[in-house]
Amino acid sequence: MSNDHFSAQDLLLSLEKLLPADRVYTDPVDCFAYAYDNSRNYHSPIAVVFPLSAEEVSSVILLCNQHHVPVIPRGRGTGTAGGSVPEIGGVVMSLERMTNILSVDGDNRMAIVEPGVLNQTLQDAVKSAGFFWPPDPSSAAYCSIGGNLATCAAGPHAVKYGVTRDHVLGLKAVTGKGDIIRTGCYTSKGVVGYDLTRLIIGSEGTLAVVTEATLKLTPLPKHTGGITAEFVDTYSCAKAIAAIMAQPYTPSALEFLDNGALNLIRNKHKNLLPENAKAYLMIEVDGSQQEIIEATEAILQACQVNGLIEAKPAHDTKALWAARKALSPLLKDIAPKKINEDIAVPVSHLPELLTELEKLSSQYQISNVNFGHAGNGNIHVNLLVNPDNPEEMKRAYACLDEVFSLVLSLQGTLSGEHGVGMAKRPFVSREIDAVTMQLMKQVKLTFDPNNILNPGKLFPADNT
């Protein structure tokens, strides 16, 4: 034990020599803010460092390799799966001070940024040039580009524009060995070598630490329009979603709210939503005025299913989206804890998924609120529970187990955009077979032979 203590002390002294005092935290009080993310899991690191360059990232990783101490890369801690929690201690490497937008190149529709740039800051910077970066998680005002890359984040507009991996051309990163690498290229086409860019995106800081990203920008649409649709139940609503996605006009956003979500919003925002709807769609279309007219007509027609109450163009879409974004805070207000999962299934299987989710909620007597990005089949399942009630928690986790089994039986995935982290780790082997899992572990060790980068994340405990 004493040797470990001296080793830790040596490491801390070395870190303090490597970086200025204001970029190394060792006081437990200072470090506590980096002990958790939005998953509410807490594990304290022995230190927090704030590098400003790839070279500094490399130096810290090399030092931690020498001491066999974990390095946990971190963005702004908005993740919900525990991916940036220092579960077994070690050094948290916060990229939050690497905030430079290195270039915005409108001619080539690209931007080069450091990982600490906030999503919204990037959006504001490229808007004046007539562009946006499509990944738009609800935490855009607070989350960083590095965190978006680590989890392959998405949001409402993914239904038309895709997820993070679809909008990154290349990376500069530091592997778990401390090597500085470059992936991808500065062109929209490029097939030289393996596609390491897409491999690193979504790897949750287990392969390499991104220090620079070349992002593909998208021209801002000229106009946007809105549509709302009310239904008597979730089944009819899900049938409409499938019909919308089967016609030629892709909505730029297609958000679903079940009755539980609707009631939460109704209680907080009076007269904003209809009282008799049990399921609701908030739909956005974008493009030229003519495209919006044609898309609106086609989508309104697709909504004409049994169970439709009313579908109509929406005139105040800003108020609708504000209400949608308020859902997560409202959920926290009414439940001491919510078990929040972001499962996804093929859109054609949404009717069965939503119907079975209601049955499971009733069977296990667990309050459940469902909403999400219906155009991708990505539903946020929220089991509302009291962690001080052991019997209720037991029922909740039994219900969750069946939810995951249901999702996989419908050709779905356990996580559409939140990642695995700690939260979904026990269930990963249900989705990924043993041979594929072993290959993933070998890839991990190629990038990180001493297993110091965010160790234990992604893979079940018996496979680490």
Res. 5: pLDDT tops 60: no
Res. 410: pLDDT tops 70: yes
pLDDT at position 462: 55
Phi-psi sector, 162: left (phi>0), alpha (psi -120 to 50), beta:
left
What does pTM read for this prediction? 0.92
Positive or negative, the Cα torsion across 14, 15, 20, 25? negative
Res. 2: pLDDT tops 70: no
Res. 348: pLDDT tops 60: yes
CB atoms inside a 10 Å sphere around CB 143:
23
pLDDT at position 463: 39
Contact at 8 Å (CB) between 457 and 39? Answer: no
Same fold for the domain at 222-328 and the one at 335-417?
yes
CB atoms inside a 10 Å sphere around CB 2:
6
User: For residues 128 and 106, what is the distance between their CA atoms, to the nearest angstrom?
Assistant: 10
422-457: pLDDT as tens digits: 888 999 999 999 999 999 999 999 999 999 999 999
CATH topology of domain 2-94: 3.30.43
- What the block records as the tokens of 43 is 């594990």
224-245: pLDDT as tens digits: 999 999 999 999 999 999 999 9
Residue boundaries of the structural domains of the chain: 2-94, 101-219, 222-328, 335-417, 425-463
With H, G, I as helix, E, B as strand and everything else as coil, classify residue 369: strand
Mean pLDDT of the chain: 92
Contact at 8 Å (CB) between 212 and 201? Answer: no
| H-assigned helices in 26-95 | 28-31, 54-67
Phi-psi sector, 184: left (phi>0), alpha (psi -120 to 50), beta:
left
91-150: pLDDT as tens digits: 999 999 999 999 999 999 999 999 999 999 999 999 999 999 999 998 899 999 999 999
> Beta 168-175 vs 180-184: how paired, if at all?
antiparallel
Contact at 8 Å (CB) between 283 and 229? Answer: yes
Residue in this structure with the two tokens 């592997």, named with its chain if needed: 175
With H, G, I as helix, E, B as strand and everything else as coil, classify residue 273: coil
Under the banding of pLDDT at 50, 70 and 90, the label for residue 460 is: confident
The CATH number of the domain covering residues in 101-219: 3.30.465.10
Residue in this structure with the two tokens 């931007």, named with its chain if needed: 111
Chain-centre distance for alpha carbon 261: 20
What is the average per-residue pLDDT within 69-95?
A: 95
The CATH number of the domain covering residues in 222-328: 3.30.70.2190
The CATH number of the domain covering residues in 335-417: 3.30.70.2740
Q: Report percent pLDDT > 90 for the chain.
A: 80
H or E element in which residue 96 lies: none
